[in-house]
Homo-oligomer: A and B are copies of this chain.
Amino acid sequence: MQTYPGVQALVRRTHEERVLQVLREQGALSRNQIARAVGLSRTTLSEITGSLLQRGAIVVTDTDAAHREGSGRPAERLALDPASGQFMGVDFGHRRVHVIVADASHEIVASGSDRYDDHVDWPTRLDVAFRLVERLSDEYGVHYGALQGVGIGIPGPYSGKPGVRDYPSHRAAADGFHEASVDEAFCERFGAPVVVDNNTRLAALAEAIFGAKAIEHLLYVRLSDGVGGGLVVGGRLVSGSAGLAGELGHVTVRADGDPCRCGKNGCLETIASVPAILAACRAAGLPVESLDDLAAAVARSHPVADRILRDASAAVGRVLAAVAMALNPAEIVIGGEITRLAPVIVQQAAATVAYELFPGAASPGVRAAHLADDDGALGALAAVFHSSPLLAGYPETQIRGVVDGRHQ
């Protein structure tokens, strides 16, 4: 009968996660205690703990001689290594890379960023990122032998196939290095599964899963230098047939509007991006050059700023409503620093969405993003948490049920 390496990797990783979880919850335990707690045979458990010890995810703390009843050789007790990075989130921006590392408890144990010049090539960016990763190791004393996964956000549409890669990659050597090879570079460097996606989409995922309760259906838009977005449908991040899902900035909202860089006229981005909003204010006689200027105008309730922000936000609301009519999300989230400076944006967009949506239907909540723009690495980390153990979006009970079922 054919074997399925992916399934075996899944089972191995799921066992590892269960062992780590028990140690996280109960502290140091002997192998026998772990085996009983996770319901694995001694033989299987020894393989798992051997691999985890070798990779530095767990350490031997002491023996159970002190707590032991009866006779026999004292057993080693195992515990999580608090300095072991288990998850890594990497956010490549246009001008800097940000890396965060979380331990087995999902606590962040290291964080840092480094700049590079705008438009440098990908090998250079990777070089900066890898040096940053080493520096974090020195600074925070973390090590990476036990990495369970790496999440990577990149700007712009991701031209590789989004999703989880397990190590080793089965793809042929890339013909010419480009951003689609980022996953392979990290796979090879850390020997761990890698998830890569567009960083605006990863922000959408983070908004969906970092709340008190995970949101199964969420629509996200970010107002920034451009306008982008992302969708979570049925608990899964949507990348679309060609990795282009979430391009809300280029929905036409005024057919006779200003020319857009995409070649059409009146795209949402020509009305609701930060540069478009600042330009509209200046055209109306309000001299704002920066977000700070705009924030000052908003703070003193300048009517021109208010009108232009309301117009832009109503346009955002109409686009969100059209997509929400199709998707019926539970929550709509608006991100971008400007939404923090000008609360009128979320207020007006929420009012427009409430009007536009089917009367009688429960309208989705419209709220400002929890995560700031420079929290992209958190979004990447969310992708790893979400994908682990390699089954993004599968119902939790299914994963657990299937895996438990194998050992009944």
Contacts and interface: CB of A to CB of B under 8 A. Distances in A.
B404 A406 contact: no
Task: Give the contact-size bracket for chain A.
Answer: 35 or more
B404 A4 contact: yes
A251 B321 contact: yes
Interface string A1-41: 11110111001000000000000000000000000000100
Contacts of A362: 242
Given A361-B242, A407-B1, A325 B248 contact: yes
Interface in A232-261: 233-234, 236, 238-248, 250-252
Interface of A: 1-4, 6-8, 11, 39, 216-217, 219, 229, 231, 233-234, 236, 238-248, 250-252, 262-264, 318-319, 321-323, 325-330, 355-359, 361-362, 364, 391, 394, 397-398, 400-402, 404-408
A11 B405 CA distance: 10
A6 B401 contact: yes
A319 B263 CA distance: 19
Nearest to A2: B404
Nearest to A157: B361
B404 A240 contact: no
8 contacts: A1-B407, A7-B401, A219-B326, A247-B325, A247-B328, A251-B321, A252-B318, A402-B402
